[in-house]
Homo-oligomer: A and B are copies of this chain.
């Protein structure tokens, strides 16, 4: 179905539900593919989600549930019956089960686990043993594996015999020693294009692997940068545990981008689609940062209070307050944005701090030179040349300072183990705003002699 068709079905289902015509709604809903059904749920009001979900047929429901974001799954679990939850939970991939369990209160988690057999419970338990953001949590377990001394023909036969279970992950296949130690990797694309009598040892490549406790984002970045189909994951002794595929990498990096974008804008990530998030949850995702920033901004009230006499004497100075702190904030944000993304891409590291500082100082002076000159001329023409000089000199100083601080903040955050996007924003605005105003009034007092 095209997007437009899905949208029209969406409108019609809503209309049927409004009129309590359940049968017609069910009929339309059951004609949707799982992908289209998920799209419909993603774009429904929070209170409608469980209603619509209950109307799905069972196999679609399983697919839709598996493809939901974890936050959305946990919202839904709270509104379904235990038996249904157990069925849905049992159908998730092990890594999905581990993530959902992490979100649930212990009592609910226990109920969900009760629906699994002992082996499956053991697997989830093993994944939950790895740190929360580690690649171990994202594993596809027990992948098929090859031996070095096999021929291509034997390897293919083996995949046919044993490849069923984690089929989706068969895209590059790990090669292991008799002690289950990882010795190489064969891409399936190579396996199916090489002569049947070639040895696995001749066609395999050096594995680029990860240890299960490593950070998932770093492994995903490795996977993306080296363009690998899968990264085999081992325990600390080099024994193969599972694989992490490029599809998993895409998921991890997408989540990270969403989080970074959110935090750069001063919002906590929602963990669920926007329209399916309640107004209360939207408010909760923003209130903390808004309060932190507002409390930081009371510093500017205090700074201005100190210079109240100067302001009283020359009210014209107050006209430029928004322009000056705005320009400082923008310059600082620009630098922080560039360096934060460079950090995420591993293009820059904390040890580069001196180089970053020197570059940002030069960029800030260049930017401040342009903006300051403009400010000098305009304020000079409209008001007076002394005022123009104050504005120009302030803009130059504030830009140079803001770019330097903005460039260094993300590195400082990374060094102390904080999230660069979260940490930079409030510090830059508070520091740059308050210090910018101090600079402004000192320059004004010096130039205007007040």
A351 within 8 Å of B by Cβ? yes
A212-237 vs B, CB cutoff 8 Å, 1 = contact: the mask equals 00000000000011110100000000
Whether the Cβ atoms of B345 and A273 lie closer than 8 Å is yes
Q: Which of B191, B290, B301 contacts A367 (CB 8 A)?
A: B290
Binds B, one of A78-86, A104-112, A358-366: A358-366
> Looking across the interface, which residue of chain B has its beta carbon closest to that of A343?
B274
Whether the Cβ atoms of B164 and A189 lie closer than 8 Å is no
Whether the Cβ atoms of B225 and A35 lie closer than 8 Å is yes
Whether the Cβ atoms of B192 and A275 lie closer than 8 Å is no
Provide 26 A-B residue pairs closer than 8 Å at the C-beta atoms, listed in order of the A residue.
A43-B347, A164-B193, A167-B193, A171-B229, A224-B250, A249-B250, A265-B338, A266-B333, A270-B338, A274-B347, A275-B348, A275-B352, A275-B355, A279-B359, A282-B359, A286-B363, A291-B374, A294-B330, A297-B322, A297-B323, A297-B327, A301-B319, A301-B320, A301-B323, A308-B319, A311-B315
Extra contacts, 12 of them, besides A266-B337, A293-B326, A300-B322 (Cβ < 8 A), are A167-B190, A170-B193, A261-B337, A274-B338, A275-B355, A279-B359, A290-B327, A290-B331, A291-B370, A291-B371, A301-B323, A304-B318
In the complex, what residues of B have CB within 8 A of residue A60's CB?
none
In the complex, what residues of B have CB within 8 A of residue A333's CB?
265-266
Interface size class of A (residues with CB under 8 A): 35 or more
Closest 10 CB pairs of A and B: A265-B337, A274-B342, A170-B189, A163-B193, A300-B322, A257-B257, A318-B318, A273-B347, A304-B319, A297-B323
Docked complex Cα distance between A247 and B187 (Å):
14
Docked complex Cα distance between A276 and B347 (Å):
9
In the complex, what residues of B have CB within 8 A of residue A35's CB?
225-226
A339 within 8 Å of B by Cβ? yes
In the complex, what residues of B have CB within 8 A of residue A347's CB?
42-43, 273-276
A124 within 8 Å of B by Cβ? no
> Looking across the interface, which residue of chain B has its beta carbon closest to that of A324?
B297
Docked complex Cα distance between A195 and B323 (Å):
72
Given contact pairs A188-B171, A341-B261, A351-B7, A327 touches B279 in the complex (Cβ within 8 A): no
Whether the Cβ atoms of A340 and B247 lie closer than 8 Å is no
> Looking across the interface, which residue of chain B has its beta carbon closest to that of A168?
B189
A312 within 8 Å of B by Cβ? yes
Whether the Cβ atoms of A326 and B433 lie closer than 8 Å is yes
A35 nearest CB across to chain B (Å): 6
In the complex, what residues of B have CB within 8 A of residue A367's CB?
283, 286-287, 290
